[in-house]
A = this chain, B = another copy of it.
Amino acid sequence: MAKSKREAVDKTTEQKIKEAAQQVFTQKGYAATRTRDIAEAAGINLALLNYYFRSKEKLFEIIMMEKLARFFGTVAPLFDDPSTTLDQKISAVAEGYIDMLLQSPDLPLFVLSEIRANPERFLSKIPLAKVLESDFFRQLKTIRPDLHPVHFMMNIVSLSVFPFIMKPVLESAGIVTPKTFETIARERKKLIPQWISAMLKP
């Protein structure tokens, strides 16, 4: 009883470590992260990290799986929803990505970098090839049979995600402030569907 009360208010140590690990891993990447940094960020001792998660590697595996699920899993189902029109899918994907990335701006650079460092290891977990037979591809082929559907999938994801990859550059260079970046990102939720729609007209 006393214990469950504590858990409801404070975070468990395991939870504190996981949250610190997320933060440090996504910001610096696996190789540049030291377990000491995570321990310090979690406000605990280094030994405790190995007590809960046997190794840096194991801890990373857990974080990475969650991040992969978040990055791919949030929008992947939208592509294969048979109850939506093409326009609805496009809006749903753009909004889904932008809303998510406004909360986790450095998710894409982290996930894509770590995949690149170890493609076979992580991609085997996620059945991405499904998009080839998705409702989305089927709809694209009927409306624009002259172009490979991958073009438009790339376009939607590019326009939604890449601004967040450029964010550190744009802000450090003084081209946008964090405030205007956020405004622009929000505007794009409505703009991207309009733009894609214009692209789809032959």
- Residues of A whose CB lies within 8 Å of any CB of B are 27-32, 106, 109, 112-113, 115-117, 119-120, 123, 126, 128-129, 131-132, 147-148, 150-151, 154-155, 157-159, 161-163, 165-166, 168-170, 172-176, 180, 184, 187-188, 191, 195, 198-199, 201
Q: How far is the CA of A195 from the CA of B116 in the complex (A)?
A: 29
> Known interface pairs A129-B175, A198-B199. Does A32 touch B151 (Cβ–Cβ under 8 Å)?
no
Shortest Cβ distance from A113 into B: residue:
B113
A115 touches B169 (CB 8 A): yes
Q: How far is the CA of A158 from the CA of B167 in the complex (A)?
A: 12
Q: How far is the CA of A148 from the CA of B158 in the complex (A)?
A: 18
Number of copies: 2
A163 touches B154 (CB 8 A): yes
User: Chain B's nearest CB lies how many Å from the CB of A110?
Assistant: 9
Query: Which residues from chain B contact A115 at a C-beta distance below 8 Å?
Result: 168-169, 172
> Known interface pairs A148-B184, A151-B191. Does A174 touch B129 (Cβ–Cβ under 8 Å)?
yes
A119 touches B172 (CB 8 A): yes
Query: Which residues from chain B contact A150 at a C-beta distance below 8 Å?
Result: 170, 175-176, 184
Shortest Cβ distance from A124 into B: residue:
B172
